[in-house]
Structure 1
Amino acid sequence: MAIGFAIHKRKRKVSPELVARFRHLPVANVSDVMSRISGTNRLRPMHAGGWLGGPALTVKTRPGDNLMVHKAIDLAEPGDVIVVDAGGVLVNAIIGEIMSTLAEKNCVAGFVIDGAIRDAGAIRAGSFPVFAAGVAHRGPYKDGPGEINCAVSVDGMIVEPGDLIVADGDGVLCVPYDDVAAICKLTEAKKATEEKSIQQIRAGTSDRRWVDEALKRLGCEFKE
C-alpha cells in the first residue's frame, strides 16, 4: 500500500451550467454571502487578469515536486481547475510556461497553486488563469509522492474534488459542492442589491443616515 501516493477517481463535480452562472459574479460578493470567513487572501493572480471558475481537480504534492501535477494535466477534463496543495512552500516552482501552455492546450480552465510558479513574465503576459502564492526561479522535482482527487488545503481553505473554484483579482474562493446552487442564488441577489446602490450613488439619491444611526447605536459620542 502506497500511503500518500495514489490517484483517486473523482466521484462528482459541479455542473457547467452552474459554473456559467458564476462567471459574472464578483468573488467579493460570493465571499459576502459565505459570511466573509471562507477562501484565501494569500494567492494572487499571476496572469494578465481575468476570471477563473470551474470544478476542482485536486492535487496534493510534496513541496517542490510536480510529478502529480503533470498527471493531473493529463487527467483533467475540459473546464477543470487544477488545485495544487504544495504546502505553501516557495522554494521551488510547481509550474512554468511549458506546463501552463500544455494545460491551456488541454482546455484546463486554470491553476490554483499553494506554492510557487516560474516563467512569471510569460505567464503574466498571457490570459490563461494562474493563481499562486509566489514566484521562484528554481525548477521542480519529479519524484512524488502525492495524491490526485483527495481533499486538499490551500492556505487553510479546504477543497474537495468537484467543488466549485472561483477566482478574480480579489482572490480565490472554494464553494462546497453541496452549497453551490444556494450560494449562487444568494450571490445573484447580493450583486443586484449592490448595483442598485451604485445607481443611487450616481443619481445622488443614496441614503446615508445609516452611518450616524450605527454610530449612535454603538455608543459613539458626538461632541461639540
Structure 2
Amino acid sequence: MSAHIEPVAITQTVLDACEHLDTASLSDALDSLGINGGLPGIVSQVPGTRCVGVAFTVQYEAVDTPRAFKGAANYIDHVPCGAVIVSSNAGRHDCTVWGDIMTHFALANGIKGTVIDGVARDIDTVIRCNYPLFSRGRFMQSAKNRAQLKAVQVPVVIDGVTVRPGDLLVCDGSGCVVIPQQLAAEVVRRAQAVEQTERSIIEAISTGSTLENARSTYRYDQPWLTDAEKVSVGERP
C-alpha cells in the first residue's frame, strides 16, 4: 500500500524563483533526490513560451456511449487562476483534448499553461495567442465521440511519472518537469545551486580553464551543492 501524501501549499516565493530556473536545472535537482520528474515526449508547441504553476489534473477515457456529446471541456470553468492544466488522454494521437476555444478561455482567466499527454489542435491560433502549450503532437480530429472526461483533480500517471493536484509544474523549451509539492522548496534551492555551479564553470572556461579542471573545481559531479557545502568538504567555492 502506498503512503498517503499530505498536500503542501506551494509558496509564492517558490513560484517566483521558478520563473528564473530552467527545467534542466530542476531535473538535476530532482536527480539529486532520486526522483524522476521529467515528462518524456511532451514538448512545446509554441516556441519561446514557458509556464510555471500548480497542477490542475484532468483524466480522460474512451467514450462509453458513442454519439452522446459529453461536454468534456467544461471542467475548465473550475480551473483556478495561476494553475497549469495537466490533461491525461493516455497519450492518444487520434483525437485532441485542446483547441482554440479553450486557449482563449485560459488566457482570459489567468491559467498559466497546458500540458497534454496526447495531442492538441488549432495550433496556428495557439501560436498567435502565444499561449504555453505542451503536448505529444498536433492533430486536428476532435475528441467528440472519442474521449470523455473521467475525473478531475486526481493523480494522473504520464510515462511512469505521477502528477498530483497541487504539484509544481515548470515547462520550457526543453520540456516539462513535475516537482512533488512537498519537496518544491528544497528542489528549488538545489536547482539554484546547480545554476550557480554551471555559471562558475562557464566563467572559468571562458577565461582559459580546461573543462576537466573547471568541472572538478566546482564539483560538477554534485552541482546541487551550495558554495558553503563545497567549502565544508574542502572544495573551492
Q: TM-score, normalised by structure 1?
A: 0.82
Q: 1:113 aligns with which of 90, 93, 116?
A: 116
**What is the CA distance between 1:66 and its match in structure 2?**
8.0
Amino acid at match of 1:178: Q
SS state of the match for residue 148, structure 2?
coil
Structure 1, 62-71 or 114-123: larger mean CA deviation? 62-71
Whole-angstrom distance in 2 between the partners of 1:207 and 1:46: 34
- Partners of 2:8 and 2:182 within 8 A in 1: no
1:26 equivalenced with 2:26 (yes/no): no
Structure 1, 83-92 or 197-206: larger mean CA deviation? 197-206
Report 1:141-152 matches (<5 A): 141=144, 144-152=148-156
Which residue of structure 2 aligns with residue 41 of structure 1?
40
Whole-angstrom distance in 1 between the partners of 2:29 and 2:214: 21
- Partners of 2:44 and 2:134 within 8 A in 1: yes
**What is the CA distance between 1:97 and its match in structure 2?**
1.2
Which residue of structure 1 aligns with residue 173 of structure 2?
169
**What is the CA distance between 1:207 and its match in structure 2?**
4.9
Whole-angstrom distance in 2 between the partners of 1:49 and 1:63: 33
Q: Which runs of 5+ in 1 are unaligned?
A: 1-10, 212-224
Across the aligned residues of Structure 1 and Structure 2, the Cα RMSD in angstroms comes to 2.4
Whole-angstrom distance in 2 between the partners of 1:210 and 1:199: 9
Over residues 123-148 of structure 1, what are the superposed CA-to-partner deviations in whole Å (9 max), with x where a residue is unaligned? 23332100011111111227734101
SS state of the match for residue 47, structure 2?
coil
Over residues 194-214 of structure 1, what are the superposed CA-to-partner deviations in whole Å (9 max), with x where a residue is unaligned? 011111122223452589xxx
Structure 1, 33-42 or 193-202: larger mean CA deviation? 33-42
Structure 1, 61-70 or 126-135: larger mean CA deviation? 61-70
Over residues 73-111 of structure 1, what are the superposed CA-to-partner deviations in whole Å (9 max), with x where a residue is unaligned? 211111100101110001011111111111111110010
Q: 1:16 aligns with which of 12, 19, 29?
A: 12
1:153 equivalenced with 2:153 (yes/no): no
Which residue of structure 1 aligns with residue 95 of structure 2?
92
SS state of the match for residue 124, structure 2?
helix
Q: Which runs of 5+ in 2 are unaligned?
A: 1-6, 64-68, 216-237
Whole-angstrom distance in 2 between the partners of 1:210 and 1:202: 10
Over 4 Å off, 4+ runs: 63-66
Identity across the alignment (%): 26
1:61 equivalenced with 2:60 (yes/no): yes
- Partners of 1:48 and 1:126 within 8 A in 2: no
* Number of residue pairs aligned between Structure 1 and Structure 2: 201
